[in-house]
Amino acid sequence: MILLLRHAKSAWGDPGLNDIDRPLNRRGERAAEVVADYIVMNAPRPDTILCSTAVRTRQTLAPLVHRLTSPAPPIALEKGLYLASENALLQRLQALPDDICTVLLIGHNEGIGELAQSLAKSGPLAALGALHEKFPTGALAVIRTPDRRWCDLARGTGELVSFVRPRDLLPEQRG
């Protein structure tokens, strides 16, 4: 299983900050909390977590780490995931060791949304439609993959199990 999570909504208030250093805004912090709750209650527990080194991705990860029961899965903060392309993200997943069953990857658009779309060839029509419409900040795609080696992971081989956006979980996030 692959859990693809786009960082929650970030702040743009400080024009002097480098993009990688932008934090979550208040709405993003709340979205990260409810998505963390959703993952703990409704998604398979990750065996490993891959996360971009950007401040906003690490802040999106933090509430989940606090909610996971001990021991927490290994977490790799990887600079190469920062603004990575679909192809780079796919290659990173293909490099996973085969003893990993479920991975959580926290990254950025456009790459994370494009990867979710390219992997998910089937699934609930409404969820697939929402996924192809937009992969907004804080959104989570859960994709079931064939039982085979990670190096064999290919586009069009996954099934979208669920696609959840913060607005689906928080009424005040709609709009």
| Cα dist from 120 to 21, 115, 124, 155, whole Å | 31, 9, 10, 8
For residue 94, give the 3-state DSSP assignment. helix
> H helices within 43-150, ranges in order?
55-67, 86-94, 111-119, 125-133
E-strand stretches of the chain: 2-6, 48-52, 75-78, 103-107, 120-122, 140-144, 158-164
Partnered with residue 49 across adjacent β-strands are 75, 104
For residue 111, give the 3-state DSSP assignment. helix
Cα–Cα distance measured from residue 97 to residue 104, given in angstroms and rounded to the nearest whole number = 14
Q: What is the pLDDT along the chain (175 residues), one digit of tens a residue?
A: 999 999 999 998 788 889 999 999 999 999 999 999 999 999 999 999 999 999 999 999 999 999 988 788 999 999 999 999 999 999 999 999 999 999 999 999 999 999 999 999 999 999 999 999 999 999 999 999 988 899 999 999 999 999 999 998 876 544 4
- pTM value is 0.94
Length of the chain: 175
CATH code, 2-173: 3.40.50.1240
**CB-count exposure of residue 141 (10 Å: 0-12, 13-18, 19+):** buried
| Contact predicate 93/103, CB 8 Å | yes
